[in-house]
Amino acid sequence: MIISMPENASAFQSPEFRTPGEAGEFIRALPKAELHLHLEGTIEPVTLASLARSHGVPEPSPDLYRYTDFPGFLQSFKQVCSLLRAPQDYHLVTLRMIERLHRDGVRYAEVYISAGVMLWKNESFLQLFQGICLGAQQGRAKYGVEVRWILDAVRQFGADAAMRVAELAVAHKQEGVIGMGIGGDEKQAPPELFEGVYEYARNQGLRLTAHAGEAAGPESMWGALRVLRAERLGHGVTAEQDPELVKHLARSRVPVDMCPTSNFRTGAISRIEDHPLRRYFDAGMLVSLSTDDPAMFGCDLTSEYMLAHTQFGFTPKELARLAYNSFQASFLSEEEKARYTR
């Protein structure tokens, strides 16, 4: 079923833009949800340098955010996480993340926390999460942006480590944790390894997402759908290698978070013009735009929407559809979706 635009969305169905500035203003004004965003990937170099000084360690190299493939990105992400050590660190980066979201017109976000990395570092999730919650509370009061959390397990750490993440997610449902997911290297750890973890999470009322079809082929997405029964998929750039998968995603309306700049920077696609966003949208898939790790990839949500317009020819009405999709694809209740899209 294709979800129709609400009647009162006509305010956003303007003629074609006359100037890039007009397009930017239109995009920033669109109320949006950000559904594929890693808290640790929002940290700007100046904040990283501040964190390093506070811990008395050398500042990161200016080349930290320069990489040409997915393994290189994972190594950089690991170094970023090494500078997050105390609740006040997480308080700072959460508040600055919400400020970024506000600038992009984001009203609601579902943000990944790398709980798997915290556990691997033998840190107290409870203490660090308190810093995150304080930052979110202050950010909501100042900017009006609502944030809920998805705890992210690292695939290559194995199913036992992922189960610990699921248990943490269940324990903190009352503090804004809405779901769990798995990220990391798809090729090292296919979704089938985590069937029991996802069954437990589902039975405990968590919403389920999974990175799939980013560094591995469509079989990874099939596994996430059939075995994990994931409700939403992240990236999915390899789905078009299997036309039946594209048809299934369009029919079932399983949402797919698309992150074009991320996919280019990590080497998931070789050229930005090769990104399947336009083809998926035209095929009827429920796609939305996200930034993934915006500070690490040099983008923001406004620039991703602008890319959809300039590179892939999305009209104002189609950009509004992407924004509308972002709320429809969220884990909000139907009543909450209606409130945001109204």
pLDDT in tens, 97-117: 999 999 999 999 999 999 999
Q: Is residue 3 part of a domain?
A: no
DSSP 8-class letter at 289: E
What's phi and psi for 306, nearest 5 deg? -65, -40
Question: Tell me: the pLDDT tens digits for 30-50?
Answer: 999 999 999 999 999 999 999
Instruction: With respect to residue 169, please indicate whether it lies within any of the assigned structural domains.
Output: yes
Q: Would you say residue 8 has pLDDT above 80? A: no
| 14, part of any domain | no
Residue 7 scores a pLDDT above 60: no
Q: Averaged over 118-122, what is the pLDDT?
A: 96
Answer whether residue 126 is part of any domain. Answer: yes
- One of 214, 240, 273, 318 is an active-site residue; which one? 214
Query: Is residue 12 over pLDDT 70?
Result: no
Q: How confident is the model at residue 333 (pLDDT cuts 50, 70, 90)?
A: very high
Closest by alpha carbon to 329, among 39, 5, 65, 110?
Answer: 110
Supply the range of the domain harboring residue 32: 21-341
Residue 267's pLDDT is: 93
- Percent of the chain whose predicted confidence (pLDDT) is above 70: 96
- What are the angstrom distances between the C-alpha of 201 and each of 156, 168, 178, 221, 336? 19, 10, 11, 19, 23
Structure-derived torsion over alpha carbons of residues 247, 248, 250, 254, reported in degrees to the nearest 10: -160
Active site residue 214: yes
Question: Which range has the worst mean pLDDT, 5-9, 140-144, 331-335?
Answer: 5-9
pLDDT in tens, 123-150: 999 999 999 999 999 999 999 999 999 9
Q: pLDDT-based confidence at 21, cuts 50/70/90?
A: confident
Give me the pLDDT at residue 1, please. Answer: 27
pLDDT per position as a tens digit, 267-304: 999 999 999 999 999 999 999 999 999 999 999 999 99
Looking at residues 78-99, what average pLDDT do you find?
96
Contact 180, 166 (CB under 8 A): yes
**Number of folded domains in the chain?**
1
Residue 13, in any domain of the structure = no
Which pLDDT does position 325 carry in this prediction?
Answer: 98
CATH number of the domain enclosing 287:
3.20.20.140
- Considering the domain boundaries, does residue 16 fall inside one? no
Contact residues for 315 (Cβ-Cβ < 8 A; gap 6+)? 16, 309
Confidence of residue 342 (pLDDT cuts 50, 70, 90): confident
Classify residue 29: in a domain, yes or no. Answer: yes
**Nearest alpha carbon to residue 156 among 84, 273, 75:** 75
Domain assignment present for 155: yes
